[in-house]
Structure 1
Amino acid sequence: MSQYETIEFERTGNIARITLNRPKAANGINHVLGRELAQVASLVADDPELKVVTLTGAGRFFCAGGDLKAMAAQESGAGPYVKHLADNLHEAISSFARMEALLIVAVNGTAAGAGFSLAVTGDIVVAAESASFTMAYTKAGLSPDGGASYYLPRLIGIRRTQELMYFNRVLSATEALDWNLLHRVVPDADLPATVDALAAQFADGPRHSNANVKKLLLVSPDHTLEEQLARESAFISAAASSPDGTEGIAAFLSKRAPKFD
């Protein structure tokens, strides 16, 4: 059962499920949600048994970004408060990006600001048909956080990133799919079952093999070809000697389905 105030957390076998749970506040990130998200991200990142982590929102919104009401209520000014929010969010995103388990994000509704940033950090991103995406930072006189300036240029290029950040364009789920921000769009009613099926699929897969894919893709834009080739050689040779690699090769040669631990 969840021990958090603003997050629902459940672990079943090698799958963990995280739900942002401030539906009356559009799952906006206040100091409690930011802190708890960093805590739960660290928890799942340190769990050597997990293969999959899913992340979604409760209610009609995935996440509307930082809680502007909470920011405005700060008597000493919003700056220190926002710095604290951003630091916690960034700690969570770093943990999700560097953990070996795959992060499947289920965008159940509007993803705005930091919610948009958080959504696209997933290794697998699935959205409901009714979901929408917008940066909206400059509308509030703010600038992007949550890794948006890192992930978006890599995913969609600088011009489309500028379109989102300067013009605050709102993308439908279908447009977000066309822009390569997502992997799939499904009917709203099918989102939970789709994500559960994907989680089960990867939970039966090779944990370390998928983790190596994450590691290779995370650093690829910053490496030369030769540096990346060296990492590929090191990773695939280690994988070939691992239990997953041994089982995968044997299963392929025997024309049977592999059974990964």
Structure 2
Amino acid sequence: MSHCVNLEYVQHTATITISRPSQLNSLSEGAFLELRQVLRELHDNQDVRVVILKGDGKVFCAGGDIDFFAELVDLPSSERSEQARQYVSLAHEVMALFASLRVPLLVAVQGAAAGFGLSLCCVADIVVAARGSRFVPAYLGLGVTPDGGLSYSLPRLIGERRASDVLLTNRSFDAEQAENWGLVTRLVEANELEEDVSQVAQQLVSGPNLASANTLRLLHAQRNFDEFNATLAAELDSFSDCVYDDDFVEGVRAFLERRSPSYD
């Protein structure tokens, strides 16, 4: 099995790279399993002071694995719902591990952040995005509801009404808009993304250890992890319920056939 996730340590910085560029870094079951293993390792590593998450190639992360969803549409409703539930449950384990990191999570975005990729941006402490990159909710386009805690995190970052507009109309937005709304913290030229992310990481690593750690702890105290975990559970139920429905089949087939879905 080829590796979908790479982990590199350099001077107290751990860099996680999603490496499925030919699939736009969409997250297969194998990728989620590797992310879970990597994050468990990072939770136990006291030498790490910052975690960088990035994608290999032209796109940060296109979200869930459309090949997996394409396989589901040919299954009976109950079976596809159960398989989707297992897949999203694994994804939520990964998201909970990201959310509970004791060090800053720095996400670098190029190209696009769609679906679960958008959820990853929302759980980050700092998001550096290249100009021209886009943020795409994607869920309703496939006839499903958000996962990865997006229905919890996005309204708290950009406001409930704006999040309603984005999620209910499947509205994409560019990096400039994301910065105006508070989702992106730093906007850079595409050819400067890697250098800028490295500079931010170095600044975080070189800060006073105790004060930096305590500041992050105080900031994270503003998150209600009980509410976040409850949202993950509710999103899991909703997602599997939607996959049971025929609208999911139509949404996936329309996506694969590059046409607009036709819902009854």
Superposition TM-score tier, normalisation by shorter sequence: 0.7 to 0.9
CA distance in structure 2 between the aligned counterparts of 1:102 and 1:66, rounded to whole angstroms: 24
CA distance in structure 2 between the aligned counterparts of 1:159 and 1:87, rounded to whole angstroms: 28
Query: In 2 relative to 1, CA 136–123 (structure 1 residues): closer, same or farther, beyond 3 Å?
Result: same
Query: In 2 relative to 1, CA 163–5 (structure 1 residues): closer, same or farther, beyond 3 Å?
Result: same
2:256 corresponds in structure 1 to: none
1:176 corresponds in structure 2 to: 178
1:151 corresponds in structure 2 to: 153
List alignment gaps of at least 5 residues for structure 1: 224-261
1:29 corresponds in structure 2 to: 27
Query: In 2 relative to 1, CA 56–190 (structure 1 residues): closer, same or farther, beyond 3 Å?
Result: same
Amino acid in structure 2 at the alignment position of 1:50: V
Q: Deviations over 1:50-96 (max 9, x none)?
A: 00110010111111111122122144643233223322222222222
1:70 to 68, 71, 89: 68
Q: Deviations over 1:147-198 (max 9, x none)?
A: 1111111111110110111011111100000010010110000000000011
Q: Which has the higher contact order (CA 8 A, sep 6+)?
A: 2
CA distance in structure 1 between the aligned counterparts of 2:31 and 2:203, rounded to whole angstroms: 29
Q: Deviations over 1:187-239 (max 9, x none)?
A: 0000000000111111111344333333333332659xxxxxxxxxxxxxxxx
Amino acid in structure 1 at the alignment position of 2:90: N
Tell which structure's C-alpha radius of gyration is larger.
1
Cα distance, 1:11 vs. partner?
0.8
CA RMSD of the aligned region, Å?
Answer: 1.9
Number of residue pairs the alignment of both structures matches: 221
Larger CA deviation: 206-215 vs 5-14: 206-215
List alignment gaps of at least 5 residues for structure 2: 226-264
Q: TM-score with structure 2 length normalisation?
A: 0.78
1:16 corresponds in structure 2 to: 14
Query: In 2 relative to 1, CA 8–73 (structure 1 residues): closer, same or farther, beyond 3 Å?
Result: same
Q: TM-score with structure 1 length normalisation?
A: 0.79
CA distance in structure 1 between the aligned counterparts of 2:211 and 2:15, rounded to whole angstroms: 21
